[in-house]
Structure 1
Amino acid sequence: MKIKLLATALCALMLSAPSWSEQDEADNNVNNGGVSSLRGNVELDTQQDPGRIKQVQRDRPTMDREYVHQPPLIPHQIRHYKVDMDANKCLSCHSWKNASETGGTRISPTHYETRDGMTLSDVSPRRYFCLQCHVPQADAKPLVENDFKPVESLR
């Protein structure tokens, strides 16, 4: 009886072994399914050269907005600016207290309001981290073609 059971188990193992090797081979040859993305038509595990970092121009005039409620773009270099829980370099030029002396654009009054509409004497904690909405503009070409046009009233 034991020999019969052992023979059956051995046969089952031999019959299933080819499917295991086929699965291993299929796993090794995973591809992106023919989907082309911004990374190109490459395997998902392919490491590509990230390309050069785009250069942010040092100082430029204020840039026009493209849609209503668009946060203003930052028209200057911000490398090495400290914006964390302890300090916010942006406020040294853009706070209401300092803007007239430095020539920086004043922060919008909405940045002093809490989510409940209460006006504070300092920047609201939910608006403190400027770089969540405001970004410097690099001289970079679009990643994908588009036919976006600014809102008519902003032209």
Structure 2
Amino acid sequence: MRSQDRTGLTAIARAGVGGLTAGAVVLFAALAFSQEAPRLTGADPAMENVQAPPLARPVTDDRRKARNYPEQPPVIPHSIEGYQLTLNTNRCLECHRREFVEASGAPMISVTHFMDRDFQVLADVAPRRYFCLQCHVPQTDARPLVENEFTDMSATTAE
């Protein structure tokens, strides 16, 4: 009998702590969202129907862009509209695969793309590197949503 009472009290105590925790989360959320953050995009008020802005034009100058930090994946300096990138087809490989770079003039895929997660070199592109758009992105002429204050590490050490 005694253990039954103790179990009942434990269940009541857990429910009470759970209720307090849930109440604290709701209170915190209410305080956090009471000060409205400035909107970056979209209609004001938020649920108003507005026409979508036009898509930004892709940068298509085919010039390599300087990277901003070590290990940054190169950006795509051409349009990829209409490229098929599926489990069975990767249009990027038609120019960037080692066999085709001489004819296409495109840079070759990095040798790191031919290594599996155990650093074993494969004959073809590793499955985890097959979907190029996971890391590489096309550039557009879109206006930034927020001001960029990024400074390169070498620029800060030169001062």
Residue number in structure 1 paired with 2:115: 113
SS of alignment partner, residue 110 of structure 1: helix
1:99 pairs with 2:101: yes
Matched residue, 2:88: 86
**Which position in structure 2 is the counterpart of 1:7?**
none
Query: Would you say the 8 A contact 1:66–1:151 is kept in 2?
Result: no
2:12 maps to which residue?
none
Shift of 1:33: 5.5
Distance in 1, matches of 2:124 and 2:42, equals 46
User: In the TM superposition, what is the alpha-carbon distance from 1:100 to its structure 2 partner?
Assistant: 1.6
Distance 1:137 1:94 in 2: 18
Task: Give how far 1:145 is off.
Answer: 1.2
Secondary structure of 1:98's match?
A: helix
Contact conserved, 1:83 with 1:129, CA < 8 A, in 2? yes
Aligned residues, how many?
123
Q: Paired residue for 1:46, among 48, 61, 64? A: 48
- Give me the identity figure in percent: 40
Kept after mapping to 1: 8 A contact 2:43/2:49: no
For residue 14 of structure 1, what is the aligned residue in structure 2? none
Which sections of structure 2, spanning at least 5 residues, go unmatched? 1-32
Alignment partners' CA distance in 1, 2:148 and 2:64: 24
Max Rg structure: 1
Q: 1:4-153 maps to which residues of 2 (within 5 A)?
A: 34-39=36-41, 42-152=44-154
Aligned to 2:9: none
CA distance in 2, matches of 1:120, 1:36: 49
TM-score by length of 1: 0.72
Answer 1 or 2: which has greater helix percent: 2
In 2, distance between residues paired with 1:82 and 1:114? 24
Shift of 1:41: 7.7
